[in-house]
Amino acid sequence: MALTAEAQSDSPTEVIAAGTKAVTILGSTGSIGCSTLDLIGRNRSHFDLVALTAHRNVRTLIEQAREYRPRLAVVADPAGYPELKAGLAGTGIEIAAGAEAVIAAASQPADWVMAAIVGAAGLAPTLAAVKQGACVALANKECLVSAGPLFLKEVNGSGATLLPVDSEHNAIFQVLDANRLESVERIVLTASGGPFRTWNAAEMAVATPAQAVAHPRWDMGAKISVDSATLMNKGLELIEAHYLFPVGEERLDVVIHPESIVHSMVAYIDGSVLAQLGMPDMRTPIAYTLAWPRRMAAPTARLDLAQIGQLTFEAPDLKRFPALTLAREALRTAGGAPTVLNAANEVAVAAFLAGRIGFSEIVTVTAAVLGHTEALGTAPADLAGVYELDRIARIRAEEMVQKSGR
Ligand code: NDP
């Protein structure tokens, strides 16, 4: 299993029970970042905040820094520097701005780093956290999709520990017998089906950004909410699972489970199926990674199966949700295909959210970019190659957006 030697070690590191853990949150102002701070706020004496980072939401970053007192607060957009400086004047909290400052924040010595920047923008900071050998709680799935083999090479080389935060991968991590992958028959990722699970193609074609981000079960950032609506999120998660749990792409399945109670399952060769269940609240998987290898209390609603009554499952409709097939094809093609898929999808989702293309065009734009990129099967040799392919794919995606735009 790719989650580093420490994940399989017999000697767990110090956890919630005693002492303090030095913690950095990359993307502290987002949905995952705020949930992480909520948990830390309830267990203040156990955590020492090293750094918090944001992109443009300086007001929230100031509020968080004033409340949680990190040693460092960083805004990625340099335009936010004056406001951050004024807002934290007199607090003694060090401040910085710019993309390089976010990477520097991720490099600050810490025991545990939450990687919760959205998109490929999270790759360099997350790698910086990996390189310092921290325990990295990985929410940013785009890192692995975009640069999987190179990312894992860095993890293995640095001795960092990778803990999956995504509820599905966290569930698998909890029930997988990682030392006996040969006994795993299938890994089944559950998907809520998103807000358009029962919509027909014509209805989806005119879906608005507001409808797409109104997820029926999970309260998440805009990008992942749109990905959930197209099912690209599940496609990205298939790729993420492939890197984290190397059982082979053909042993990875997806099942639609609208209640989002069963967070994923591992089926073994003896017919046993182990699943992790819980109410849909990201504070449970985040708490698992914060306290790992022990557990800590999370203030989430408790699962009452008698009250829920029934859990339902159905096969994904690949005709209405072609993103899932597209992502699986990119995974099979491997090489640079996942990098291109991720970059093109990010551009297309941003264009949809900006009202520039329709909902159905998110996938057609992404597919067109994949179709027009040469030598997809050749993997980037290094991270510079990943960034270059990402850059080219974004330019192509923007061209496609302009062609198919309104
Ligand atoms: P949000 O959009 O809510 O938050 C994103 C965070 O990243 C914000 O702090 C944002 O700052 C920051 N950010 C955005 N762009 C940049 C940039 N260019 N440089 C530096 N920081 C940046 O996203 P989520 O919290 O929903 O998701 C974060 C990641 O976790 C995603 O990769 C997502 O796929 C994954 N994930 C999320 C889940 C969820 O329930 N939300 C579940 C599972 C995985 P600012 O606020 O200033 O814009």
pLDDT tens string 233-287? 999 999 999 999 999 999 999 999 999 999 999 999 999 999 999 999 999 999 9
Is the model's pLDDT at 391 over the cut of 80?
A: yes
210-242 as b/e: b if 16+ CB within 10 A: eebbebebbebbbbbbbbbbbbbbbbbbbbbbb
Q: Which of 97-106, 211-220, 301-310, 317-326 has the lowest mean pLDDT?
A: 211-220
pLDDT band at 406 (very low <50, low <70, confident <90, very high): low
Q: Which atom of ligand 1 is nearest to the CA of 223?
A: 2
Whether the bond into 78 is cis, omega within 30 of 0: no
Distance 183 CA to ligand 1 centre (A): 35
**Closest CA to ligand 1's atom 39:** 220
Distance 346 CA to ligand 1 centre (A): 13
Q: Which amino acid is at 348?
A: A
Q: What spatial distance separates the first Cα and last Cα of the chain, rounded to whole Å?
A: 46
**Please, what is the average pLDDT of the chain?**
94
Mutate to test the pocket of ligand 1, among 26, 31, 163, 300 (most ligand atoms within 8 A of CB): 31
Pocket of ligand 1 (CB under 6 A): 27-33, 54-57, 76, 102, 116-118, 121, 139-142, 166, 218, 220-224, 282
Mind listing the domains of the chain with CATH numbers? 5-165 (3.40.50.720), 185-281+310-404 (1.10.1740.10)
Query: What is the predicted pLDDT for the residue at 8?
Result: 38
Q: Which atom of ligand 1 is nearest to the CA of 220?
A: 41
Distance 66 CA to ligand 1 centre (A): 21
Distance 55 CA to ligand 1 centre (A): 9
Region 308-321: what's the mean pLDDT?
Answer: 97
Query: What is the predicted pLDDT for the residue at 216?
Result: 86
Distance 184 CA to ligand 1 centre (A): 32
pLDDT single digits (tens) 332-375: 999 999 999 999 999 999 999 999 999 999 999 999 999 988 87
